Structure 1
Amino acid sequence: MALEFKLPELGENIESGDVVNVLVAVGDMVTEGQSLLEIEAGKASMEIPSPATGAIVAVHVANGDSVGVGQLAFTIDSEGAAANPEPVAQAAVPDTASEAAEEAPPVAAPAPAPVPAPTPAPAPVAAAPVASSASKPVSAAPNVRRLARELGVDIHEVSPSGSTMRISLEDVKNFAKSTLESGGGRPRFHGATRVEKMSAIRKATMNHMAHCWATIPHVTQQDWADITHLNDLRAKFGKKAEAEGAKLTVTAILVKVVASALKVFPNFNCSIDPDASEIIYKDFYNIGIAVDTEKGLMVPVIRDADQKNMIELAKDLGGIAAKAREGKIGLDDLQGGTFTISNLGGIGGTFFTPIINSPEVAILGVGRAVEQDGKLMMPLSLSYDHRIIDGADGARFIRWIVDALEEPLLLALEG
């Protein structure tokens, strides 16, 4: 019996994913539970198991395809498990327009079967030249044309709304507004271009960061922390951490410091429900760590950071960072954060404006420590949601962080 296997539910609010690797080919024999497909949805990877034992008759997806839940992926001959079916040409599947959601529970998958060598990624496709509309005559007053230039609007793309067929100031404003609301669309270029398809991680980052920036009124405060003494202590006790298989990094120490600060300042460990005019305080402390990977930004979460010592946190940090960089991160690893740390010190730079990771209300950015007057000074940038956190609270929070880094005993006294 030919079984049409369609992409199953991947998790709550997840409607599609990108095919990272097709693990079987036409003619392969598969067993129930064997992995058929590796999918990247949101920022997590997952393997999709076979629902039955049989022979692969047709493969309807390919590496790099965007597939939606319920879309046909394989045809399996579940009765002819001992037979060797004739190869069937693979059918191309059009991309879906659905976007993967940021957070959803993971889908459990059995242990994967041996994976064939991945197919090389397709070369970038050159963009087709965009036909110019500059030759189209338009009727618009000089002040209307000036406004279009100031807003970066091509006057030739604006349609007049009145019966006179003359473009007005309101026509230009409405065109600019609709362009912004739609995400800008594809801009026009005046030179050679090339087009590459966004990965699932990049699409998820694009959508989530745009949402965070558009819905959260950000305020960023900066300060310097003298970590000279802390760095000496880190060097002194680093070998003890290495003996237990961990690396005592500044980020690991910051996780402990931040978890302690959140207990002192609970309004930094909350979320808000603006529709209900309610504040949701969280009595758990899960710290997200921004990790730079080849595929893009990921923010895996260290859970119950307040209940772990620095060596345990260092172990957790090393583990989740490795999983993220190796592409083995699961949806569960990316969920449940209450505060995020973004440390760019390993790359360089001083102060910056980290974007709050909604539904969290604050994020700490860390730059590279520099020598100043014989002291090792580390730049800190705290962004917070001004709807729930006032400037005075922001100043107190970052000063508490600075004091704890400069005098670690504060963790024992107040943390």
Structure 2
Amino acid sequence: MAHEFKLPELGENIETGDVAKVLVSPGDVLKKDQPVLELETDKAVVEIPSTVSGKVKELRVQKGDQVTIGQVILTLEEEGEEAPTPKAEPKAEEKSKALEEEAAVEESKQPVPEVSSMEASTQARPEREVAPAPEAVAPVPATPSVRRLARELGVDIHQVPGSGPGGRISVDDVKHYVRDLVSQRGTPLAPEAISPAGPSLPLPPFEKWGAVEREPMSKVRRKTTEQMLQAWTIPHVTQHDQADITRLEQDRKRFAKRVEQAGGKLTLTAIALKVVAAALRTFPRFNTSVDLSTQELVYKQYYHIGVAVDTAHGLLVPVIREVDQKNITQLAAELTALGEKARSRKLSPEEMAGGTFTITNLGGLGGTHFTPIINWPEVAILGISRAKMTPLYMEGEFQPRLLLPLSLSYDHRVIDGADAVRFLRWVVEALEDPLLLSLEG
């Protein structure tokens, strides 16, 4: 008896992925829990184990394909006793069938009469984000792809005025409706609506002027693009400063061996984690998120700090949790382990979620100062550049001092410039005199 193996649930808010590698071939004897493919999600590559056993009859996907939850990956022929059908399969099958039936019904009802323009105008000004319309509401003329876009943007499709024949709703109608909401309330836009030109605007014919080569954007790069577009809606300001870490560097080298024995590397980033966590306790507004829909600041009572990691596959930001409750040795060991997982693409989505502040260190590559982009929905990010030995006039003479450039970008809707200066000066003084941490802690 042939069985279908479908892509299982991968985690919260994960609906699709790109096939990075197929690990089985037709004719292979597959055991339960054996990995069948590697799937690239937004920021990680995960192995998908089989929930059934048997002989692979047919592969339905190949490297580079985009697959969705519930999609058939392969079919199997049972060898010997029939393997039990996974419990989750009936739900996934029923869900897929229901979606297909819903799409068929929607397509068959395209010429449905639309409400008047006056009614549509009234619907376009809700007091709050309206929940999906109840079943009793008459269907609206919109294709499944337009409905999906509305869901992704958090919009009730029943409230979008249609500009097409018979009030038919298009992709542009949804985007215009979202932009109107943003202009009225200041609600952050989803990535699809942020692009000034819109994703449908064609590029110039580059081939007209010479040879070109196209490369598909990876899942990581596509997610980075979305995140940067979302972040760029934040009014950024960057404050620069520098810390004299001459003494700190001496101590770092002195204790490096001890930390290595514990499985970590005593890097400047590991030390900065501890300093920043203490600064966030002193300046709690930097550990918030702004909720424009309710006009509130969300103060987090925990300190989970993300650290940007440069990998061959793109920028990843693993999150170290409860930084304030760990010593520098523990932070160094955890930072080393997460960095290795990031570079080998083994980070789980959960390991990159829940951050309250981010640190990005480009000092290993060079440069002086830069303007880091805030990792939305956070309100600030600290950038670290390369330390440089500089002659500094002290005590009546020039002395060689190791100066570390720091760059703090912050959300000016939440944080005033004076507070940003105070925060960054606190970080500088803590790096220059670690005793300050003990006094403040």
Superposition TM-score tier, normalisation by shorter sequence: 0.7 to 0.9
Q: How far, CA to CA, are the matches of 1:348 and 1:178 in structure 2?
A: 31
* 8 Å Cα contact 1:52/1:78 also seen in 2: no
Q: How does 1:13-412 map onto structure 2 within 5 Å?
A: 13-78=13-78, 180-182=197-199, 185-189=202-206, 190-213=209-232, 215-373=233-391, 374-412=400-438
Post-superposition Cα deviations, 1:391-410, rounded to whole Å, max 9, x if no partner, equal: 11111111111010111111
In 2 relative to 1, CA 200–310 (structure 1 residues): closer, same or farther, beyond 3 Å? same
Residue 262 of structure 1 aligns to a residue whose secondary structure is: helix
Q: Which residue identity is paired with 1:281?
A: Y
Bigger proportion of residues as helix: 2
Q: How far, CA to CA, are the matches of 1:191 and 1:275 in structure 2?
A: 48
Q: Which residue identity is paired with 2:18?
A: D
Q: Which residue of 2 aligns with 1:152?
A: none
* 8 Å Cα contact 1:39/1:47 also seen in 2: yes
- Cα offset for 1:78? 3.1
* TM-score of the pair, normalised by structure 2: 0.70
* 8 Å Cα contact 1:35/1:49 also seen in 2: yes
In 2 relative to 1, CA 255–183 (structure 1 residues): closer, same or farther, beyond 3 Å? farther
Gap runs ≥5 in structure 1: 83-96, 100-176
Q: Which residue identity is paired with 2:346?
A: K
Q: How far, CA to CA, are the matches of 2:336 and 2:200 in structure 1?
A: 37
Q: Which residue identity is paired with 1:255?
A: L
Q: How far, CA to CA, are the matches of 2:361 and 2:196 in structure 1?
A: 34
Q: Which residue identity is paired with 1:208?
A: Q
- Cα offset for 1:69? 2.1
Q: Which residue identity is paired with 2:19?
A: V
In 2 relative to 1, CA 330–402 (structure 1 residues): closer, same or farther, beyond 3 Å? same
Residue 358 of structure 1 aligns to a residue whose secondary structure is: coil
Q: Which residue identity is paired with 1:30?
A: L
Greater displacement, 229-238 / 256-265: 229-238
* 8 Å Cα contact 1:35/1:50 also seen in 2: yes
Q: How far, CA to CA, are the matches of 2:279 and 2:200 in structure 1?
A: 37
Post-superposition Cα deviations, 1:171-229, rounded to whole Å, max 9, x if no partner, equal: xxxxxx9862337543432221101111111111111111111x211111111111111
* 8 Å Cα contact 1:16/1:67 also seen in 2: yes
Residue 180 of structure 1 aligns to a residue whose secondary structure is: coil
Q: Which residue of 2 aligns with 1:93?
A: none
Post-superposition Cα deviations, 1:297-327, rounded to whole Å, max 9, x if no partner, equal: 0000111110111111110110000111111
Post-superposition Cα deviations, 1:67-97, rounded to whole Å, max 9, x if no partner, equal: 1223221111236679xxxxxxxxxxxxxx9
* 8 Å Cα contact 1:179/1:185 also seen in 2: no
Residue 55 of structure 2 aligns to a residue whose secondary structure is: strand
Q: Which residue identity is paired with 1:72?
A: V
Q: How far, CA to CA, are the matches of 2:370 and 2:201 in structure 1?
A: 25
* 8 Å Cα contact 2:390/2:401 also seen in 1: yes
Q: How far, CA to CA, are the matches of 1:307 and 1:320 in structure 2?
A: 18
In 2 relative to 1, CA 365–332 (structure 1 residues): closer, same or farther, beyond 3 Å? same
In 2 relative to 1, CA 366–12 (structure 1 residues): closer, same or farther, beyond 3 Å? same
Identity of counterpart residues, as a percentage?
54
* 8 Å Cα contact 1:354/1:364 also seen in 2: yes
Q: How far, CA to CA, are the matches of 1:24 and 1:178 in structure 2?
A: 40
- Cα offset for 1:239? 2.1
Aligned residue pair count: 324
Residue 245 of structure 1 aligns to a residue whose secondary structure is: coil
Q: How far, CA to CA, are the matches of 1:309 and 1:179 in structure 2?
A: 45
Greater displacement, 375-384 / 178-187: 178-187
* TM-score of the pair, normalised by structure 1: 0.74
Q: Which residue identity is paired with 1:392?
A: A
In 2 relative to 1, CA 32–242 (structure 1 residues): closer, same or farther, beyond 3 Å? closer
Residue 222 of structure 2 aligns to a residue whose secondary structure is: helix
Residue 33 of structure 1 aligns to a residue whose secondary structure is: coil
